Each structure stands twice: as C-alpha cells, then as structure tokens.
C-alpha cells in the first residue's frame, strides 16, 4: 500500500487538508469489513514526513487518518505533526480513534493543548446487532449518548448485507444528534468482504439525494473521494 495518495485538500463543506499517514498498524484488526490495517511498512516515517510536508495550512484545519487510531502513530510522527501544525498555523486537528482507545484521547489533547482537537469515531452503525454481530466492531455499548461522549465526529458504513433503509436513516438522524459532523462511507469490496450492491443502490436512490447537501455530513461514495487512499 506504499503507492497510495497520502495528501489532499477537501474543498467542499468543512474545507480542510487531509493526510493519510502510517502508524504501527491497527491494534484491533477485527472488523469484518476492513483490511486497512494492512497499510504498514518499514518506511513509515519517510512516508509520513513526505505527506506532512505537503500541508500548507490553507484552511487552518488538518485531518489526520492512519488506517487505525491516532494512538498507533509513533512519537517521531507526532513530533513532525507538531512542527508542521505550528509552522503552518493550523488551528484545528481531526484525528480518528477506535472506541476502545478513548481513554488515550486525554493525552493527545494534552500533547496538542494549543490546538482545537476533534476526535472521529469509527462507529459504522448505531444498530447493535449489525455493528457487533456482523461488522464485529468491538463497541460493546448500546447507548448512543454514552458511545458519543468522548467523540466529536463519527464514520458510518453503508453496504453491508442485512442493512436496511430504516437502520441507515436512524444512523444519520442519531449521528446528527450526537455528533458535530458525520461521514457516511459507501462500502467498497476488499480482501475481507464484498459490498451488498442492493443496499448501496437503495441508499443512493432513496437516502443520499435527501442529505447530500447537508453541511454536517461528508459522503464518500467511493473510499478515495477525499482524495487520499
Ligand atoms: S475499521 Fe479501523 S479499527 Fe476496524 S480493523 Fe479497520 S482499521 Fe482497525
């Protein structure tokens, strides 16, 4: 996965720069729909340096994703991030995090105490059965309020066999109630799971048109729509 595009500018809605860095690899690795954790390499520090060197500070907001959780980034990568965000006058940083590592958010906020830190949760769905028994997400909590407590934003996934229109609508409504912003990702086939095309067709024709202009929702109809990956 060393040939991935690792820097981009998102020019719609919440305008920001985004980098796809490499960490030590997702600690969890159990999600049934994901093979992103294969994005690891010995050249990690150079890859991260190169992606971060593209950051211009254009919008003052930088989203940092790493095919896992922020706590899998190395101390050296954090040093480079720090230098770049001070140099480029970034004011807001968005990191992603699995629910299991939420206790580590406090340390991240301390490390970047001069910046506004937003944490994006890989939630995928509020539907417990779909999320835990099918997606194997590892969030053993049912209450939306408790799940959202430590997080500002969340990712949701569309295109899993068994996912219904009502589940997706419920996810969008609860997502907008409990998070500042949400990102709705349409599943792409990968080495672990094939997307359910009927679910995706239903989403694209019956749900997406009603929400596509909502400023608080990013839609990734293809997983490279942010320009990285
Ligand atoms: S979705 Fe995230 S937490 Fe789950 S296996 Fe993939 S990288 Fe790890």
For residue range 140-188, list pLDDT tens digits in order: 999 999 999 999 999 999 999 999 999 999 999 999 999 999 999 999 9
Neighbours of 159 (CB within 10 A): 23
Distance 199 CA to ligand 1 centre (A): 22
For residue 36, pLDDT beyond 90: no
Q: How far is the CA of 17 from the centre of ligand 1 (A)?
A: 22
The position carrying tokens 């003052």 is 60
Distance separating alpha carbons of residues 59 and 9, to the nearest angstrom = 9
Q: Is the dihedral of CA 10, 15, 20, 26 positive or negative?
A: negative
**Which residue has the CA at smallest separation from atom 2 of ligand 1?**
68
The residue among 150, 21, 155, 16 whose CA lies nearest residue 93 is 16
Q: Give the pLDDT confidence score for residue 224 in this predicted structure.
A: 87
Which CATH fold topology does 7-220 show? TIM Barrel (3.20.20)
Burial of 151 (0-12, 13-18, 19+ CB in 10 A): buried
Pairing of strands 181-186, 61-65: unpaired
d(CA 165, CA 173): 12
User: Is residue 223 pLDDT above 90, yes or no?
Assistant: no
Cα of 69 vs centre of ligand 1, distance in Å, is: 8
Instruction: Locate the ligand 1 atom nearest the alpha carbon of residue 34 and give its number.
Output: 6
Question: What does the pLDDT read at residue 122?
Answer: 98
| Mutate-to-test residue for ligand 1 from 36, 100, 123, highest number of ligand atoms within 8 A of CB | 36
| Closest to 78 (Cα-Cα) out of 31, 130, 2, 24 | 24
- Residues flanking ligand 1, CB < 6 Å: 26, 28-29, 31, 34, 36-37, 67-68, 98, 122
Q: Report the separation in Å between the CA atom of 37 and the middle of ligand 1, taken as the mean of its atom positions.
A: 6
At residue 36, the 3 state secondary structure works out as: helix
If you search the block for the tokens 């596509």, which residue do you land on? 212
Report H helices in the chain: 44-52, 75-87, 105-111, 128, 144-148, 165-178, 197-202, 208-211
């Amino acid at each position: 996965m060393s040939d991935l595009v690792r820097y981009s500018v998102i020019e719609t809605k919440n305008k920001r720069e985004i980098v796809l860095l490499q960490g030590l690899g997702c600690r969890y690795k159990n999600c049934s729909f994901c093979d992103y954790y294969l994005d690891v390499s010995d050249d990690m520090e150079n890859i991260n340096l190169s992606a971060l060197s593209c950051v211009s500070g254009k919008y003052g907001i930088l989203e940092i994703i790493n095919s896992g959780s922020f706590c899998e980034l190395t101390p050296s990568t954090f040093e480079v991030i720090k230098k770049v965000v001070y140099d480029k006058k970034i004011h807001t940083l968005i990191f992603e995090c699995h629910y299991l590592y939420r206790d580590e958010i406090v340390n991240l906020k301390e490390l970047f105490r001069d910046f506004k830190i937003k944490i994006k949760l890989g939630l995928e769905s509020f539907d417990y059965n779909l999320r835990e028994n099918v997606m194997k997400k590892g969030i053993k909590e049912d209450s939306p309020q408790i799940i959202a407590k430590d997080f500002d934003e969340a990712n949701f996934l569309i295109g899993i066999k068994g996912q219904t229109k009502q589940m997706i609508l419920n996810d969008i409504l609860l997502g907008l109630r409990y998070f500042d912003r949400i990102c709705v990702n349409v599943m792409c086939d990968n080495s672990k799971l094939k997307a359910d095309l009927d679910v995706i067709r239903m989403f694209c024709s019956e749900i997406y048109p009603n929400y596509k202009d909502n400023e608080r929702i990013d839609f990734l109809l293809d997983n490279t729509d942010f320009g990285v990956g």
